[in-house]
Amino acid sequence: MSSSKGTNPKGTSTAIPSASKPTSVDSAEASAIPTEVPTEVPAEGFLMPDGKTYSNFSTKESAGYFRTLNSSTTGCYAENGSMPILLADKDLCNLGFFCPNSTDNAPPQYCPPSFDCQAKRMMGKSCPPQGLLEPVICKGGYYCPKGGKEMIECPKGSYCPEGSFEPWPCAYGAICPAKSQRQIVTMPLGFMIAFDILLGIIVGLGFFISAWRKGRKKNYAALPNPGEKDLDSDDIELLTKGSKDQQDDHDDLSANPDFQVFMRYIGRLIKTKDVGLSFDFEDLEFEPKAGKKILKGVSGYIQSGSMWAVMGGSGAGKSTFFNVLMGKTRHTGGVIKVNGHPKDMAKYKKLIGFVPQDDIVLPELTVRENILHSARCRLPMTWKDKDIQAYVDALISCIGLSHVQHSLVGDANKPVVSGGQRKRVSIGMELAAAPMCIFLDEPTSGLDATSASSIMRLLKAITRLGVTTITIIHQPREQIFHGFDNILLLGLGSEIYAGPTSEAPTYFDSLGFTFPSRANPADVIMDIINGEGGEYRQDHAMSETPVARLIESWRTRHQREAPSRTQSHSPPQPQHLLPEDAYDPPEGSYHDALAAPKRPRPVSMISTADQEAELKQTMKKRGASWYAQTYYCCKRSITQQVRLKNSFFFEIGTGAFAGGIIGLSAFTAEGQLFKGIYHDSFSIVSHAVNYTSAPQLGLLGAMAIGLAASAPAVKVFGEEKLIFNREASSGHSMSAYYVGKMVSVLPRLFIASLHFSVFMGILATPLMSWPDMFVANLLYFFCVYGLASCIGMLVKREDGPLLAVMASLIIGILGGVAPPLSKVKEWNIEFLWRMSPGVWFTESYFSQCLRPLEYLYMLDLAKAATGFNIGNYSLDMGILIALGVVYRVIAFVLLVTVQRKR
């Protein structure tokens, strides 16, 4: 280029100024860009090379002249007189830029782009430099060292995103050939494959060991010598009770050696030498709402070591009586006494067993595993595991489940064992705890006659050891009916009869009813107390309210006997359950105890302070420690997850697929998920900004994790409400159950997050490090599981997955992307968004993708435009942990307080 100077009328030289200030360029091509400028603009104007004088450069005439200039004059490649703008006072090239032609005398300059280039830049694309001295961002796959004079090919083992001033070292094992713009991290992929293989081997070994154990013969622990002190026992002595005519009922059990083992072990636990569990209830009432009494003035006494049947028609109040007596429901009137003292029955839940009418067992566990878990958690903590195993083996044999003990229980949708066997499992779970009192709601429902008789004989046997047994039963067989010591008949919420079973026919005979000689007394009694006993009356006369008359007849008799009952309380038995001269305890084995003659018992018993202290000591010993219960619950939950392997693998596959889809959506960006405004004066050469790609990756990742994890989380946490209620009512630690369940899910979270992060990282290749991405994904999985557990505690299990998915989508959308968090701040409701884990998760992605580019872009502008903070990754992760913990605390509170039926 040739130098071009003009002369004004005074003969001074005048140079063409640039839009900022003039400069001269000494280049190899000898380009002559005007360099001299007058100190002041002469009054007559500037004389330009075209021979004309212009007073300033904003006139139409000067603009027309500029349009005639070309690149050889201005240094800008665009036609029509594009004038350059200086970007620095000397040869200063920002980090990450390529400035090959600039010098101190010819600093970098900006040239207005052509129309095509402008369109590309507005779309975020790049175009060639628009002038000889215009800086250009260092191309991806290359790096431009400080000074910007070289653009060097990125070496193998490194990668160079757009705007690199030095190679970025690749992670160990990453794929980074020469000229790599991004790294493909493969080490996590290799770890994932190795982990999956190891996991498969462990699962296979687990099934092999399980099969080996199933085929192994039982090896009972040595039983303690009855004459020796057992250090692991509760120093317990059997209460002998029974009659010769009852001995035949136990012959088949007595012939079973497992029965001897079971009775010896249970004899170590049932403390009746000093005190058992007896119950007084006077004028018991339950009125859930005004005007609707379910129980009305029920009074009676249940002595320890007795077997009671509670009978009545539908709506008679049997279940309510059970719940009130066990302390599950607070009575609204009357008094309940335990061993003669008014006390809260809930305090004795470790010594009480309850078999619900519905078979509440875990279908994923085997028969033995269900019973063994109950025994481990509820037997005294001093017992060794070998004793517990032997005790459970004997119990399983006694209830007739040895042949199916290693079979899964299953459920109604996918049954494995029969309904009667499920019922026996439910009973066995309570007998495994060796309770001092056991309540059974319909224990024979679903059982055939033989199985029902076997269960009742076993209950009768442990009753003779001092266990108080109370059973709701409908129309039992005659043999079973006569096996009960006493019966309590209810009608319309009131007593109709309470007393010895053998005296019930005599009592109803006194009311004018006749029992047919060949009829089952239980059937006749049920007809009578349901108001359909007219055929059994001698005069065949029926009252309009026969049940009400039966209630009134019993109340009248009860009032007549009240003085004698009161008198019996005045001289309490201070030291023994029975008077000292009532019987001489026979010596011998448990079989002698079953055959011992039945003795008359006092009407009531009041325990002494020493006896109550011993009872408290017994309760303290019952139950495993909190840590042991947590371990057993965690182990049980892991077993469930392994058994539900299809669901587990489906969740992992879904997570991997979701991560791959999200990664694929960002694959074409080649890791460049952000473009901002360049630093300082170089901002004028900035392309269209891209503030959304990095947050969108976080948003899509959050939504994908929510879809993949929320439904399985509901199944893991929310489908055991009834199991939890049953175990909590029997003295299990509620917190141990929940913590064990929560800990058992952590490996699941880790594996699902690993697969999600591996496939997402390989395809999306964001600038954030893979460990940072994995930790963020893992903690968001943690939050989604916690939120889904809250949903599962509130709604029915069939509604839980759908609502959990919706909730996870909501917290994902509240991630601050749309609407942007900056707009939310203007609305002054940012705190609502900050309550969602989605904001913190998305912010971590945004922050970690931008921080490595801080030298290149003005991140403060991006921060103001989006509303996200930058550089607070640790805080973001801490908040995610806190939110996940808060969700679980809320879920635990809901688990304890919300009474969900299903």
Say if 638 falls within a structural domain: yes
Say if 245 falls within a structural domain: no
As a whole number, mean pLDDT of residues 628-648 equals 88
80, pLDDT greater than 80: no
* Percent share of the chain, pLDDT over 70: 81
Banded model confidence at residue 13, pLDDT cuts 50, 70, 90: very low
Q: Which of 65-74, 560-569, 731-740 comes out lowest in average pLDDT?
A: 560-569
Look at the block and give the residue holding tokens 């830049």.
Answer: 121
Domain match, 668 and 780 both? yes
49 three-state secondary structure: coil
Domain match, 739 and 885 both? yes
Domain match, 706 and 837 both? yes
Beta strands at 437-441 and 352-355: parallel, antiparallel or unpaired: parallel
Domain termination residue (choose one: 538, 559, 580): 559
Domain match, 533 and 665 both? no
What pLDDT was estimated at residue 473? Answer: 87
Say if 113 falls within a structural domain: no
The span from the CA of 172 to the CA of 186, in Å, is 8
pLDDT digits (tens, 9 = 90+) for 443-491: 887 777 777 888 888 888 888 777 889 999 887 888 888 888 899 998 8
pLDDT digits (tens, 9 = 90+) for 235-290: 333 333 344 444 444 445 566 677 777 777 777 676 544 567 888 888 888 888 77
Give the residue from 751, 747, 594 showing the smallest Cα distance to 262: 594
Residue spans of alpha helices (H) in 732-858: 734-764, 770-794, 800-813, 821-826, 830-834, 837-850
As a whole number, mean pLDDT of residues 6-29 equals 36
Q: At residue 214, what is the residue type?
A: K
Domain match, 528 and 650 both? no
Mean pLDDT, all residues of the chain = 79
The span from the CA of 849 to the CA of 766, in Å, is 7
Provide CB contacts within 8 A for 899, sequence distance 6+.
none
Domain match, 706 and 854 both? yes
Domain match, 339 and 484 both? yes
Which two tokens mark 86? 């200086």
Domain that holds residue 872: 628-898
Domain match, 554 and 667 both? no
Domain match, 811 and 732 both? yes
Contact 129, 84 (CB under 8 A): no
pLDDT digits (tens, 9 = 90+) for 109-139: 998 888 888 888 888 888 888 888 999 999 9
The strand pairing partners of 489, in sequence order, are 311, 497
- According to the per-residue pLDDT averaged within each range, which of 66-70, 204-208, 654-658 is highest? 654-658
The span from the CA of 438 to the CA of 467, in Å, is 7
pLDDT digits (tens, 9 = 90+) for 682-730: 998 888 888 999 999 999 999 999 998 988 888 776 677 888 888 888 8
State the Cα angle at 271 between 265 and 276, rounded to 5°.
135
Say if 19 falls within a structural domain: no
What pLDDT was estimated at residue 848? Answer: 93
Banded model confidence at residue 580, pLDDT cuts 50, 70, 90: very low
What pLDDT was estimated at residue 576? Answer: 33
Say if 663 falls within a structural domain: yes
Domain match, 744 and 846 both? yes
The span from the CA of 162 to the CA of 136, in Å, is 11
Contact 690, 789 (CB under 8 A): no
Query: How far is CA 567 from each of CA 280, 563, 572, 610, 867, rounded to the nearest angstrom?
Result: 15, 6, 10, 24, 81
The span from the CA of 492 to the CA of 573, in Å, is 35
For the chain, the first-to-last Cα distance in angstroms comes to 88
Residues in the chain: 902
595, pLDDT greater than 60: no
Contact 220, 390 (CB under 8 A): yes
Domain termination residue (choose one: 559, 589, 615): 559
What pLDDT was estimated at residue 876? Answer: 95
Domain match, 805 and 679 both? yes
Beta strands at 437-441 and 279-286: parallel, antiparallel or unpaired: unpaired
The span from the CA of 444 to the CA of 452, in Å, is 5
Give the residue from 164, 104, 169, 99 showing the smallest Cα distance to 136: 99
Domain termination residue (choose one: 527, 542, 559): 559
Q: Give me the number of domains the chain comprises.
A: 2
Say if 372 falls within a structural domain: no
What pLDDT was estimated at residue 399? Answer: 84
Q: Which of 638-652, 733-747, 835-849 comes out lowest in average pLDDT?
A: 638-652
Say if 763 falls within a structural domain: yes
pLDDT digits (tens, 9 = 90+) for 392-417: 988 888 888 888 888 888 876 677 88
Say if 66 falls within a structural domain: no
pTM over 0.85: no
**CA neighbours within 13 Å on the CB side: how many for 656?**
15
State the Cα angle at 209 between 206 and 215, rounded to 5°.
140
Give the residue from 554, 682, 621, 572 showing the smallest Cα distance to 97: 682
Domain match, 554 and 675 both? no
For residue 543, give the CATH number of its domain. 3.40.50.300
